[in-house]
Amino acid sequence: MYTYESSRSLFERALHSIPGGVNSPVRAFKSVGGTPVFFEKAKGAYLYDVAGQRYIDYIASWGPMILGHGYEPVTRAIQQQVEKATSFGAPTEIEVEMAELIKSMVPNVDLIRMVNSGTEACMSALRVARGYTGRNKFIKFEGCYHGHADPFLVKAGSGVATFNIQTVPGITAGAANDTLTCAYNDLAAVEKLVAGHKGEIAAIIVEPVAGNMGCILPEPGFLEGLRRICDEEQMLLIFDEVMNGFRLALGGAQERLGIDADLVTYGKVIGAGMPVGAFGGKRHIMEVVAPLGGVYQAGTLSGNPVAMTAGLTLLKALKEKPELLTELDEKTLYLKDGLDAVLKAWGQPYVINHLGSMISIHFSAQPVVNFAAAAAADNARFNRLFHALLKRGIYLPPSAFESWFLNNALTKEDLDQTIQAVKESLEEL
């Protein structure tokens, strides 16, 4: 049985200095209850808390640890770069190599700008879309989370959904009024919105495979319909691939799903888990970005050499050995089939959503295709499952509104242990 006294002590201490005791809200365990676990180290598929207890990790730092924690080539490259410099605030060859590598892997990226987070990437992509089209409004989908920039926190997923925050104080009416929202997978609602705002909408931004209301897949024709609408109405289609990028395929969701976006955003994966982001797209669109054009975006730490070195090493490994992603997909399918068998024998309603190495369980009798369906599931039961698995050494995202992310360091034994732990936990529930 796992104990959490060391984590409780640290959390109580943190409450005196950090809002809510955490530096990102979902970490507070408000959704699932209890005290957050404080971690000290990680290696491969495992996390180790401050008491030295080991957990099988199904977060992978919310996606980027595709090859596991402490992947030796990345660690070694970081160490070598740190000895040279940690920051210049000036151009480096590593930035150029990273941009060239991403261009070689991703469809429709002619120019790419490095930034410092997924939030900054999405915020900047929206600014580019507005600057390019001369329009202010945009469409996002309920339950999709694109970071905490003002316009994106209208009916957002992830932490906002977890805390049931419907209106975020500090966001002006003007910012909210320019944000138009639809249910994910509801193409008819998008068409209706566009018809009611002719010539006013700059872009549609979407997680092509949503990861912030659980793993939610696009229904057949949904993304194709968004592409068609954008073409017809001279709007831009933005893919938020902060979670999907280089995980679903070398070219991300664009490659895996066969849909072309105009702009694409990335996050921590291109820094192998370090604070980093990027936005890129077609040349004629990206040329509006300063210093080529008038859409201003800047950052002292953008293209940080340590982050670029880490990300470059990880992405090169994936490109040189694309079978690594195939192996990861196969491991996720093995887990899904095992969970499916256990849940079926359990006899209560459930849904498993899955694509590539993203997966989530929803205790629902109905298909989970959007945020409303995810919210209507028995999420209290998920919370109990979370804690039952935690005490068995399985670390899931601490919210029913988050996808699980597998990493390729997971072994068949890890997956079997997880499946058995779920079986035992369901019997306990």
Amino acid type, 44: G
Q: Choosing from 268, 282, 331, 350, which is the catalytic residue?
A: 268
DSSP 341: H
Q: Supply 391's token pair.
A: 């005490």
Q: Choosing from 55, 145, 184, 395, which is the catalytic residue?
A: 145
- Closest to 383 in 3D by CA, of 344, 341, 425, 419: 425
Q: Is 124 in contact with 113 (CB distance < 8 Å)?
A: yes
CA 83 – CA 223 distance, rounded (Å)? 45
CA 370 – CA 365 distance, rounded (Å)? 14
Q: Is 164 in contact with 207 (CB distance < 8 Å)?
A: no
Give yes or no for a cis peptide into 91 (omega within 30° of 0). Answer: no
Q: Choosing from 240, 262, 329, 414, which is the catalytic residue?
A: 240
Give CB contacts under 8 A, 24+ apart, made by 38-43.
38/6, 38/7, 38/10, 38/11, 42/69, 42/70, 43/68, 43/69, 43/70
CA 263 – CA 157 distance, rounded (Å)? 21
Amino acid type, 204: I
Residues in Cβ contact with 385 at an 8 Å cutoff, skipping those fewer than 6 apart = 361, 422, 425, 426, 429
- 268 is annotated as an active-site residue: yes
Q: Is 74 in contact with 271 (CB distance < 8 Å)?
A: no
- 184 is annotated as an active-site residue: no
- 350 is annotated as an active-site residue: no
Strand partners, 237: 204
List active site positions.
145, 240, 268
